[in-house]
Amino acid sequence: MNEYRINQLLENLKDPDEEIRDRATAELWRIWFEQKGAIGFEVIRQAQLLLETGEIKEAEIALTQLISDLPDFAEAWNRRAVLYYSIGEYKKAIADCKMVIKLNPIHFGALHGLGLCHAAIGEYRQAIQAFRQALEIQPYALINQKLILECTARLS
């Protein structure tokens, strides 16, 4: 990845102009999905289709194989975390989110997902921490602000 371009996109996420932020968000997602070229992207796409048609086990197998083949492909870990979250396997999703963040510390999607997982199992302090980290990268992400308030309310 071109470090200058990534830094420019990260700055754009902090721009008051929503259109600039939206373009930067979309471009970062594109970069992350295409990190390992057409083959990696295609496996992720196929796994998503399997997930959408309820073929959870097949989607998990495809993503696990992709992770085995390309262990530094952060988006493969992220997609499997999404799968685990969608079936209520929050601890597995947390582990995968942490791996995404280790590989790609600016992955606001994984930070958001990590927060969702912690909130789902009642770990509100950890959830708040993850949502705050996501907000450092995407300060205008209202969903994270809202979820911080919800988690804070549950602590009282």
Q: What structural domains and CATH numbers belong to the chain?
A: 105-156 (1.25.40.10)
Which pLDDT does position 69 carry in this prediction? 96
Instruction: Give the tens place of pLDDT for each residue, 140-156.
Output: 999 999 999 999 999 97
First-to-last C-alpha distance (Å) of the chain = 43
Which pLDDT does position 99 carry in this prediction? 98
pTM of the model: 0.95
> Does position 1 have pLDDT exceeding 60, yes or no?
no
What is the crossing angle of helices 18-33 and 74-86, to 10°? Answer: 100
Q: Is 3 exposed, middle or buried (0-12, 13-18, 19+ CB in 10 A)?
A: exposed
> Does position 73 have pLDDT exceeding 60, yes or no?
yes
Radius of gyration of the chain from its Cα atoms, rounded to whole angstroms? 16
Contact assessment for residue 99 and residue 91, using Cβ atoms and an 8 Å cutoff: no
Which pLDDT does position 2 carry in this prediction? 81
Mean pLDDT value across the chain: 96
Contact assessment for residue 77 and residue 67, using Cβ atoms and an 8 Å cutoff: yes
Instruction: Give the tens place of pLDDT for each residue, 19-62.
Output: 999 999 999 999 999 999 999 999 999 999 999 999 999 999 99
- Chain-centroid distance of CA 128 in Å reads 16
Which pLDDT does position 156 carry in this prediction? 76
Q: Average the pLDDT over 81-106 and give the result.
A: 98
